[in-house]
């Protein structure tokens, strides 16, 4: 075999290896959400007991699509910060009663007022229990009479009947899952500046000294804040993350604590969707220096 042929053959093998790796990664990613309680399609197995459980899915107009309950490939809402978000928002920040304590060094909910949406409100669009799980902007193609079904950007209920009565009533989350309601005074504060504020892309320190300083990385001109909890040397999906918003006044690079900080909605290795094990309060002590 000539040297040129050997090089071509080597390049082909490398290409095949990369393609195989890509398919393997896709399969793992798909399996991650498919095997969690966030799979609300007909293939979902919602097991809330130790002895088994009822299969998920709607009885009327059901769908095998998994991602559709949060995301849509076309026509997602441009309100809020969700990627191609397929759900309407039933509330604004001002609709929630937020956690308050004399120990807080910043105002909870300081990310904004009415019409300003944070990452936590993506979670709350289901978990505050004020609207049905099937309140979607775009119905799944298998459920829509004429295929692609666009509801005008606001989101409307599909009217499905659900099999899991213990988990929800009329498609609205109930007490057997993380049902927060709109009163968040008994929950860890979200929509709040990390450590009482004080951090920016240029440095700084937290207003409350009882917090550890996160690491930063810059992508496409945006500063991202995280704790390297998986010790990979860079920001990965398994790390504890903070989030930034364009608030105006040059403070859009301040890190905020959101539901996504501790929870990964796509992976349930550590229930309930924790980014890492909380053994020995490891999640708490990632941020809190106490």
> Tell me, what's the pLDDT at 56?
52
For residue 126, count CB atoms less than 10 angstroms from its CB and return exposed for 0-12, middle for 13-18, buried for 19 or more. Answer: buried
Reported pTM: 0.79
Query: Which of 147-151, 156-160, 253-257 is the most confident on average?
Result: 253-257
pLDDT bracket for residue 15 (50, 70, 90): very low
5 band by pLDDT with thresholds 50, 70 and 90: very low
User: To 5 degrees, how large is the angle CA 157–CA 68–CA 237?
Assistant: 130
Query: How does the average pLDDT of the chain come out, rounded?
Result: 75
Q: How confident is the model at residue 233 (pLDDT cuts 50, 70, 90)?
A: very high
Q: Which of 85-99, 169-183, 260-274 has the highest mean pLDDT?
A: 260-274
Looking at residue 277, its pLDDT comes to: 93
Is-contact 99 185, C-beta < 8 A?
yes
Confidence check: pLDDT of 275 > 70: yes
Q: What is the pLDDT of residues 20-76, one digit of tens each?
A: 333 333 344 445 788 888 888 877 755 443 344 444 555 566 778 889 889 988 888
Task: Give the least confident one: 144-158, 258-272, 275-289.
Answer: 144-158
Provide the b/e sequence for 247-256 (b: ≥16 CB within 10 Å): beeeeebbbb
Torsion sign (Cα): 113, 119, 124, 126: positive
Element (H, E) at 268: none
DSSP string, 113-144: STT---HHHHHHHHHTSSS-TTEESEE-TTTS
Q: Does 17 score more than 70 pLDDT?
A: no
Over the stretch 255-265, which tens digit does the pLDDT of each residue have? Answer: 889 999 999 99
**Model confidence pLDDT, tens digit, residues 128-141:** 988 888 888 888 86
Question: What are the sequence ranges of the domains in the chain?
Answer: 3-34, 63-183, 192-287
């Amino acid at each position: 075999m000539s040297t040129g042929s050997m090089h071509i053959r080597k390049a082909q093998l490398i290409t095949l290896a990369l393609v195989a790796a890509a398919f393997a990664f896709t399969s793992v990613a798909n399996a991650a959400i498919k095997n969690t309680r966030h799979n609300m399609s007909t293939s979902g197995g919602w097991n809330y007991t130790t002895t088994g459980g009822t299969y998920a899915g709607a009885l009327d107009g059901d769908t095998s699509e998994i991602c559709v309950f949060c995301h849509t490939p076309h026509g997602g809402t441009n309100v809020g910060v969700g990627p191609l978000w397929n759900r309407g928002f039933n509330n604004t920040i001002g609709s929630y009663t937020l956690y308050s304590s004399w120990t807080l060094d910043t105002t909870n909910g300081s990310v904004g007022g009415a019409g300003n949406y944070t990452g936590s409100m993506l979670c709350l669009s289901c978990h505050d229990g004020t609207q049905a799980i099937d309140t979607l902007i775009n119905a799944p193609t298998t459920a829509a009479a004429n295929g692609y079904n666009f509801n005008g950007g606001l989101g409307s209920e599909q009217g499905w009947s659900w099999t899991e009565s213990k988990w929800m009533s009329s498609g609205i989350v109930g007490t057997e899952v993380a049902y927060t309601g709109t009163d968040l005074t008994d929950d860890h504060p979200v929509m709040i500046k990390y450590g009482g504020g004080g951090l920016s892309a240029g440095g700084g320190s937290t207003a409350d000294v009882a917090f550890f300083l996160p690491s930063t990385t810059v992508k496409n001109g945006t500063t991202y804040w995280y704790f390297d909890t998986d010790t990979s040397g860079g920001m990965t999906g398994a790390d504890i993350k903070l989030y930034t918003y364009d608030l105006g006044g040059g403070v859009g690079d301040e890190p905020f604590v959101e539901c996504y900080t501790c929870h990964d909605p796509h992976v349930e290795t550590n229930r309930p969707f924790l980014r890492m094990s909380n053994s020995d309060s490891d999640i708490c002590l990632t941020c809190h220096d106490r």
